[in-house]
Structure 1
């Protein structure tokens, strides 16, 4: 999943970027309000971590501005202010949740997982395709009772596919959700990671959960691939 972090303080911005990247998210950052608004115009994010105290446009104004433009990315606002009036202003301005500094990274991660599940399409707590299950809260993937260890990018690709079972996702769409803006959608990076993912979730189980749609992209079979190996 792809996160936009909007924070003007360099150390905090870098801390959040590194922590979220280690959790497996693709992370882009902005140091001020106008830059954040511009990024939401050119990229789709699954959630935004938005600091209130920004130079120029503050977080309240940024949130209100992107809502007026029809951008409904879930927004988690960060602030040193914990007054009721400030929380009300943020929520009324279109924010989805509010976290007061200082905060624990574990709570930040948990709140983001909740917000991502509230996105514009169905986001169940545990994703399933046949006996293939992915739990975003614990970041675990299983075939039946067997846990399958994945790298961060493999996990990100599988999550993107499993959130839209049966839907074809182009390579560009997968790059947009799983890599930052510096990655070229025309590269073969997606194909290489899909091959590695199949080697873990399909080949050992003689299934074909991840299908190639020639000339279009990839999709996950809603049945988890079991039907692909059945014989009459």
Structure 2
């Protein structure tokens, strides 16, 4: 499951990144509201956790803007505000949950699990592109009923491209999605990964994954 965690406090941001990553979640962090909004609109997240008071845009403002675009991710607000009217405001503006600081790590993880269960029905189980079918929950890929074996990173890059079929994804976006917090991942590593995926999913004459020179890649139906 993919989580966006937005918090301007660097120490708390690092602590929560460690906690969530070791709990098995794929985590992207944002240091302010504007960055959180950009990330949330650029790629899909299952859950978005927003600190209420952040520079540039508040967590509440980000929540409002996302819900205005019909964004379906589960949204949780973190805040020191414990007044009932603040809680009501947050929930009325589109948040699914509200957690008051300071909080215990196990409580946050339990809230995430509960929020995930509520959102499960809305999650699409399969993606299709031409003859390709990708099952998200089973982490399998088939082409014309034939199973295709993929490594973890091959599956992640194909999943990301199929989620954004016919849309160009930059190299930076793909690298951030697949490798997340690992350092020193080069464009050459991405090119090599794409080449491996192409060998497994393409026919001799055509390729599902198109190179957009100077930008990145896109998935297209063939």
Q: TM-score, normalised by structure 2?
A: 0.62
CA distance in 2, matches of 1:9, 1:174: 22
Within-5 A mapping of 1:100-119: 101=107, 103=110
Which of 9, 22, 25 is equivalent to 1:18?
22
Tell me if the contact between 1:148 and 1:201 (Cα under 8 Å) persists in the aligned partners. Answer: yes
- The alpha-carbon deviation at position 191 of structure 1 amounts to 0.7
Question: How far does residue 127 in structure 1 lie from its aligned partner after superposition?
Answer: 1.1
Find the residue that maps to 2:91 and give its secondary structure: helix
Check if 1:63 corresponds to 2:67.
no
Which structure is richer in relative contact order (CA contacts within 8 A, separation 6 or more)?
Answer: 1
Q: Which residue of 2 aligns with 1:158?
A: 158
The Cα offsets for residues 136-155 of structure 1, whole Å up to 9 and x where unpaired, read as 23332222323323233222
Deviations 1:141-192 (A, max 9, x none): 2223233232332222112211232333332332344343776786323212
How many residues are aligned here? 201
C-alpha RMSD of the superposition: 4.5
Partner of 2:187, secondary structure, is coil
Task: Verify: 1:131 aligned to 2:131, yes or no.
Answer: yes
Identify if the C-alpha distance between structure 1 residues 51 and 42 changes in structure 2 by more than 3 Å, giving closer, same or farther.
Answer: closer
Pairwise mapping of residues 153-232 of structure 1 onto structure 2 (< 5 A)?
153-180=153-180, 187-202=187-202, 208-223=207-222
Contact 1:172 1:186 (C-alpha < 8 Å) held by counterparts: no
Aligned to 1:120: none
Q: Deviations over 1:50-104 (max 9, x none)?
A: 267x8xx39xx9421324677966353177xxxx978744332332x33884628
Aligned to 1:121: none
> Shift of the alpha carbon at 1:202?
2.6
Unaligned runs of 5+ in 2: 79-83, 100-106
Asked whether the 8 Å contact 1:67–1:94 carries over to 2, the reply is yes
State the match for 2:48 in structure 1: 49
Matching residue of 2:143: 143
Q: Closer, same or farther in 2 for the Cα pair 1:67/1:5, shift >3 Å?
A: closer
Q: Structure 1, unaligned stretches of length 5 or more? A: 118-123, 224-232
Q: CA deviation at 1:133?
A: 0.8
**Cα distance in structure 2, aligned partners of 1:46 and 1:176:** 13
SS of corresponding position for 2:169:
coil
- Contact 2:6/2:33 (8 A) holds in 1: no
In the superposition, the TM-score normalised over structure 1's length comes to 0.60
| 2:81 equivalent in structure 1 | none
